A = this chain, B = another copy of it.
């Protein structure tokens, strides 16, 4: 790998940090920088990023609306698994990284770039997720990770560099920013600063995507979500595209204060970190998906899926989206969703989402069999005796040996 770089595609947000990186790449590597800004539903204007890039002399500027692809090809497959990292986290940041990496590599190939760059730090998971994606899709790509290379190791140094290079500095970045955030259509995450003491409650001002449950409506709201083959396709009977649907669920979740999570988690790089996540629509989606699976999925598939989901979540968290083990689990998971079709009714209230009803043309729930009342011979209770006796046989042999 030579040290000379001709053209680098930078994942560019338009913010201070990646603007500094843009300039640093130009001056350090004396190379052309191509910027790529993705609209993943983070809720920010992207045209200012174009303007800033132009000001810094960038000639090839890519600003792509990836929202539908994000929800359809990344969020939805993941939600089919019911994945929760460490039992709780809906992987909102993790699942966005592979898409950014994929598009960045496509652009690199299109513009003939020999390198890619990103603004993730050397302590976090995102560098891993970006770079595993880059390497999987372009094994010989050159990767530049400025935070691991440069000497701008303090915020003061960064701001001094920005000032020296006429990079505009937002007012709120002058002082120490209180925490760092990442946002996309699925979630907003916050880390660092005021959150670094895991004994201290997250201050209310950190939340940006959800209303405080305490000020949320005093009256519950009921909604329905229709699923087809494992994916939500309509809310309250209205058919919506993947991204539009998630947006709708986000609005509902925000209103009712749903999807806040305060978590100390284990990063892939070996340390624990404390983060705060807001996943309003994803939290509703997750609950609803479990609800529709509960009547349409067989026990054998459901339990195996639950076991595999722990590993699957870990793979996505660690950045192994483009890895064979993730893809083979996806094949298994997707196989199970053929009949995961039907409607779930949910109640939203002051931070909680609860499934209160589910129905499906493919329901495996049989009132005739389960009833306490006379079932007209649908189930022969005497079968249970043999079932128990053979399940018990090995325990009895053990008991005779060990407890005799």
Contact = CB atoms under 8 A, between A and B. Distances in A.
Interface in A363-391: 363-367, 369-374, 377, 379-391
A128 B356 contact: no
A294 B263 contact: yes
B385 A145 contact: yes
Contact of A295 (B82, B198, B294): B198
A193 interface: yes
A398 B272 contact: no
29 contacts: A86-B302, A87-B290, A123-B384, A132-B392, A136-B392, A148-B381, A180-B372, A196-B367, A198-B294, A214-B349, A264-B291, A264-B294, A266-B298, A270-B397, A272-B299, A272-B366, A273-B370, A298-B323, A298-B325, A299-B394, A304-B329, A327-B335, A328-B336, A331-B332, A332-B332, A351-B351, A369-B397, A380-B386, A383-B385
A384 B136 contact: no
Contacts of A389: 135, 380, 383, 386-387
Query: Could you say which of A122, A392, A403 has the most chain B C-beta atoms within 10 Å of its C-beta?
Result: A392
**Which size class do A's interface residues fall under?**
35 or more
B336 A370 contact: no
Interface in A296-319: 297-307, 310-311, 314
A137 interface: yes
Interface in A17-39: none
Given A262-B354, A328-B301, A366 B322 contact: no
Interface in A267-305: 269-274, 290-291, 294-295, 297-305
A268 to B, nearest CB: 8
Given A394-B298, A395-B322, A307 B304 contact: no
A399 B138 contact: yes
Given A391-B128, A395-B322, A372 B193 contact: yes
A314 B307 CA distance: 11
Nearest to A305: B328
Contacts of A329: 304, 332
Interface of A: 1, 82, 86-88, 121-123, 127-128, 131-132, 135-140, 145, 147-148, 153-155, 180, 191-193, 196-202, 213-214, 218, 220, 260, 262-266, 269-274, 290-291, 294-295, 297-307, 310-311, 314, 320, 322-329, 331-336, 339, 345, 347, 349-352, 354-359, 362-367, 369-374, 377, 379-404
Given A297-B324, A298-B325, 9 more contacts: A1-B377, A135-B399, A139-B396, A270-B391, A272-B364, A300-B326, A364-B394, A384-B386, A387-B389
